[in-house]
Structure 1
Amino acid sequence: MPQAQKQVEVSGLAATMTIAAMGLGYSVTAADPTTLSANLAEVRRGLQISPGTASFLACLCTLTLAAAVLGAGALGDLYGMKRMFAIGAYASIAFGVLGAAAPHVWVMIIARAGLGVGFAFLLGLSLAIVNAVFPAGRRAAAIAAYLGAGHALAVFQPALGGWLAAHFGWRACFLVTPALAVLTLLITLRYVPETIRDRRRFDLVGILLIAAALLTLIYGLTDLQGGVNLAAILLIVVGVLLGAAFVWWELRTEAPALDMRLFSSGRFNAALLAGATFNFLGGGGTLLFAYYLVTLREQSPEVLGLLLIPAMLVASAAAVVAGRAAVRFGDRAVLVWGLFILLVSMVMLAWLDTATPIAILGIAVALNAIGGAVVQTPQSTIMMSSAPPELGGVVSAVKPAVGQAAYSLGPALFALLGTMLFLRDARPKLEGSGITEEQAREALRVAHGGVPNPSASGEMLDPDQARWVVSEATDSWLRAIHEVSLMMAVVPALAIVAALVLLRPKRGSTPG
């Protein structure tokens, strides 16, 4: 009987290569959107597309990844995680090459959408495979090594893509992902064992509901970064309603894609909340770092990229150290320390001014990345230990699904709060200038790297007026950054309290 099968476990070279393959697969899903964003101007000129279309292209892969990731996890449980992970690698190769060769924007749209689906299998199943094929005693260390490898391998890819684009044209930057996907595929086919399959039916209705919910919710949150608008609000409401419909269906169907009883576990919920926290602060914190550098310090956006390189390298080491610390001190202690590091990174922003050395900001950027890496290691271990073997794929996929939603919420909420606080302080300056609040909002959004909003064409200022708004915004934006950072520091503080309560060890048990 299939239920009596014993999972093949890895050791020696196979164990090392499994970590390498899963870490590499994870890394391309993190690095590829950054590579496109860094080269978006060249892609826009090459395909002769509008700023709005370019902005849509930049987020399309992430949208389809989020929509497909739970389905990818469920398919991995049913048909074998190695097989479905390999299909994700094949898709990444095919759609990556298609994007590089795209003669028209519609071909590029198909390529980016398909690439996101391929990424869903790589991201959704890599953690589950590591959890399944390593013996229980080595599982925590293996997960930590996988996360560390993923962080480290993601660092160089945007830089390599930028170098290729500069020397061989924008199309060349799209070849980094398929080249690494080929390497991932070869290692996987050679060294990674297949996982045991579950025999339950595929919950098509549930998967379609959660895909539609995540797609509309995350797209609405992304659109909200440009300011409150009816379309974004409607998308978010529809996403929430579809999510509620998914929960209703899963509680009533005989073979749910996601067993809702998982959410009755305090440990699982604490880990999920901690993961949502670091994703929320990762997305929102990066936006605040960029606002400070570009608006207040008049630095190039590339400066933030340079600060992120050492930050991510240190974060990769922190993930490995966190795994070892969790074995010694317990998951609870390490999770709380990671959240505390995130809290410190937010509080540091409240002391920045226009004369603060950039190196100090670099420390805050590094702490944001390190805190996320430290949290992610025990979070992954706790979540996967809560999953029965037959649900490993879908439970692994819950992590990026929630993470993508939280990562999108971060920039939206940070931008809305920051702009609201800025307009509160700057309103007296605007009253005698003939510039409306909507015009000031749009000028600041474009100044911070956003593309012009087509629906706001009547609110656009001429270049001289826009420069005046940005120059007058300095003090107001500095106060806004201080206040937003302190407000957002409450989030990891609450997550720490939740972790201390929900992960409280039972009397007589070991920590963690």
Structure 2
Amino acid sequence: MGLGYAIAIGDPTSLSANLQLVSSGLHITGGTATFVDSLATLTMAAAVLSAGALGDLYGMRRMYMAGLCGAFVFSALAAAAPVAAVLLIARAGVGVTLAFLIGLSLAITNAVFPPGRRAAAIAAYFGVGYAVATPLPAISGALGHAIGWRACFFVVPVIAAIGLLVTWRFVPDTVRATRRLDVLGMALFAIALLGLIFGMSRIETGFNALGVAAIGVAVVAGALFVLQELNTRDPALDMRVFRSGRFNAAVTAGVMFNIVLGGSMVLLSFYLVTIRRESHELFGLLLIPATALAAVAATSAGPAANRFGPRTVMVSGLLTMLGGLLLMRLFDLDTTRTTVFVTTALIVVGGALVTTPQAQIMMSSAPTDLGGAVSAVKSAVNEGGYSLGPALFALVGINLFLTDSVRALSGSGLTRAETREALQMAHGGRGAQVVNPEQARLVVDAAPHIAVDAIHTLSLVMAAGPVVAIILALWLIKPGNATKRRQL
């Protein structure tokens, strides 16, 4: 199951890291390249609840294996793509298959292990996922440079084939639900999450009418989804799970730590690449050992949750992330790379510590026949939170920086619009890139301390997220073993 999770989180990152190589190979430029990069994430968001519901109805093992087959086929199609249109079709298909992998792998892990071994199994699941996903961008890039851009897509089919063999041999069938498929509910959920992620990606550098409209559509679709689920006899997502304070606290923690993770990766990348004039590769190199530590933390979180309780481990992870954010307050123009690495590691490791107890609590709140749907919700809220992080950075940080920069450079003739266009923030692993970095660096050269001050302010803004999640966890999650299932 950890292999499926690794594909789901590692495949989009690998393409983002090697987008220039793939784009050059197929002669893709501009907006098409950006769309290729984000397409799998968008289709995964649209399909994730449907994948969970289909797994509940037709068997999670069967649907998970279908997802692995799809990952193999569509990745091979991407590698063989003769033109950009075929690559777009392949990436859309990959996104749908990733929804089955990320939406069902955790649910299967939760279903096939007895309560006494579940925490350790979930921890191992995340540990394997982190460990396998971490080197994927580097391996894909090395193959791409050695063989050609098509080789960037060779790694996922190999992992998918191994996952298929392991699943076929060792994973048993799971309980199937007997209800009908809630097609309308799944469609509304897809529209809501798709609109949110697309809208947030459009407003990352300021107000954008299309982005705001997409978010508005997402809000309306989300409200209609809730009404549909409350009034249909066979909902895709039984809203009774939200009666659990533990469940709601875990959802909040997931949203908050993903906001922090997404936003801080942008922030650290901006600090290194634009302010410090370091290379993109440096931040990638810092992430490799940090993510390796996260794999160890995720694996250790299960036994720790069994011993100390999931609340203690979750709060510890949130406090670790908070420490990383507060460490950014010490950044200046000459901060050592060691300090930047420690900051990165604290945030990434803290997120790994939160992930395991969050999954335990959410899955322990799920009725047996809704495991796939609840697992899909976990994936959806995490994906939505990760998308909100960069938008929060953009809306607060960029505007703060632009306002102060234009004021400080009032005699240069530089307009706010020109400054904004010079700054498209680097986003570690999710597709945003530095656009026109030379102009961005000119702006920062003129007012470097303003940029650092903006980072200081943003670190405090983002610190509010873990603080809120900690308060809710202490309030709503009672001390005890996460394996005690709530009866709904």
Matches for 1:148-163 after TM superposition, within 5 Å: 148-163=127-142
Q: Which residue of 1 aligns with 2:106?
A: 127
Shift in CA distance, 466/226, structure 1 to aligned 2, threshold 3 Å: closer
The runs of 5 or more residues in structure 1 that have no matched partner are 1-21, 454-459
Say whether the 8 Å CA contact 2:182–2:234 is kept in structure 1. Answer: yes
| Residue 103 (str. 1) matches residue 82 (str. 2) | yes
| Residue 219 (str. 1) matches residue 212 (str. 2) | no
Cα distance in 1 for residues equivalent to 2:5 and 2:433 = 29
**Normalised by the size of structure 1, how large is the TM-score?**
0.91
The runs of 5 or more residues in structure 2 that have no matched partner are none
Q: Which residue of 1 aligns with 2:457?
A: 483
CA RMSD of aligned residues (A): 1.9
Say whether the 8 Å CA contact 2:249–2:472 is kept in structure 1. Answer: yes
How far is the alpha carbon of 1:434 from its aligned partner?
Answer: 1.8
Q: Counterpart of 1:76 in structure 2: which amino acid?
A: G
| Residue 279 (str. 1) matches residue 235 (str. 2) | no
Q: Which residue of 1 aligns with 2:281?
A: 302
Cα distance in 2 for residues equivalent to 1:94 and 1:263 = 37
Say whether the 8 Å CA contact 1:251–1:260 is kept in structure 2. Answer: yes
Say whether the 8 Å CA contact 2:423–2:434 is kept in structure 1. Answer: no
Query: For 2:388, which of 370, 395, 409 is the aligned residue?
Result: 409
Say whether the 8 Å CA contact 2:12–2:37 is kept in structure 1. Answer: yes
Q: Which residue of 1 aligns with 2:316?
A: 337
Q: Which residue of 1 aligns with 2:58?
A: 79
How far is the alpha carbon of 1:217 from its aligned partner?
Answer: 1.1
Q: Which residue of 2 aligns with 1:242?
A: 221
| Residue 39 (str. 1) matches residue 33 (str. 2) | no
| Residue 316 (str. 1) matches residue 316 (str. 2) | no
Q: Which residue of 2 aligns with 1:496?
A: 470
Q: Which residue of 2 aligns with 1:196?
A: 175
The CA deviation string for residues 125-174 of structure 1, in whole angstroms up to 9 with x for no partner, is 00000111111111111111111111111111111101001101111001
Say whether the 8 Å CA contact 2:313–2:354 is kept in structure 1. Answer: yes
Say whether the 8 Å CA contact 1:447–1:470 is kept in structure 2. Answer: no
- Secondary structure of 1:433 counterpart: coil
Cα distance in 2 for residues equivalent to 1:291 and 1:95 = 33
How far is the alpha carbon of 1:470 from its aligned partner?
Answer: 3.2
Cα distance in 2 for residues equivalent to 1:467 and 1:67 = 37
| Residue 229 (str. 1) matches residue 211 (str. 2) | no
How far is the alpha carbon of 1:76 from its aligned partner?
Answer: 0.5
| Residue 442 (str. 1) matches residue 416 (str. 2) | no
How far is the alpha carbon of 1:473 from its aligned partner?
Answer: 3.6
Cα distance in 2 for residues equivalent to 1:375 and 1:114 = 30
How far is the alpha carbon of 1:296 from its aligned partner?
Answer: 1.6
Query: For 1:396, which of 357, 375, 379 is the aligned residue?
Result: 375
| Runs of 4+ in structure 1 over 6 Å off | 446-449
Query: For 1:209, which of 154, 163, 188 is the aligned residue?
Result: 188
Q: How many residues align?
A: 480
Say whether the 8 Å CA contact 2:257–2:465 is kept in structure 1. Answer: no
Q: Which residue of 1 aligns with 2:5?
A: 26
Query: For 2:125, which of 146, 162, 169 is the aligned residue?
Result: 146
Cα distance in 1 for residues equivalent to 2:426 and 2:127 = 35
| Residue 116 (str. 1) matches residue 124 (str. 2) | no
Identity of aligned residues (%): 53
Say whether the 8 Å CA contact 2:127–2:299 is kept in structure 1. Answer: yes
Say whether the 8 Å CA contact 2:396–2:458 is kept in structure 1. Answer: yes
Say whether the 8 Å CA contact 1:325–1:334 is kept in structure 2. Answer: yes
Say whether the 8 Å CA contact 2:319–2:466 is kept in structure 1. Answer: yes
Q: Which residue of 1 aligns with 2:41?
A: 62
How far is the alpha carbon of 1:424 from its aligned partner?
Answer: 2.5
How far is the alpha carbon of 1:51 from its aligned partner?
Answer: 1.7
Say whether the 8 Å CA contact 1:69–1:401 is kept in structure 2. Answer: yes
| Residue 472 (str. 1) matches residue 446 (str. 2) | yes
Cα distance in 1 for residues equivalent to 2:13 and 2:294 = 17
The CA deviation string for residues 68-103 of structure 1, in whole angstroms up to 9 with x for no partner, is 111000000000000000000011011000111111
Cα distance in 1 for residues equivalent to 2:470 and 2:15 = 35
Query: For 2:161, which of 172, 182, 191 is the aligned residue?
Result: 182
Q: Counterpart of 2:464 in structure 1: which amino acid?
A: V
The CA deviation string for residues 259-304 of structure 1, in whole angstroms up to 9 with x for no partner, is 1111111000001111111111111110011011011211011111
428-437 or 190-199, which moves further after superposition? 428-437
Say whether the 8 Å CA contact 2:409–2:446 is kept in structure 1. Answer: no
- Secondary structure of 1:201 counterpart: coil
How far is the alpha carbon of 1:504 from its aligned partner?
Answer: 2.9
How far is the alpha carbon of 1:447 from its aligned partner?
Answer: 7.9
| Residue 387 (str. 1) matches residue 360 (str. 2) | no
Q: Which residue of 2 aligns with 1:254?
A: 233
Cα distance in 1 for residues equivalent to 2:227 and 2:409 = 49
Query: For 2:28, which of 49, 66, 72 is the aligned residue?
Result: 49
Shift in CA distance, 404/447, structure 1 to aligned 2, threshold 3 Å: closer
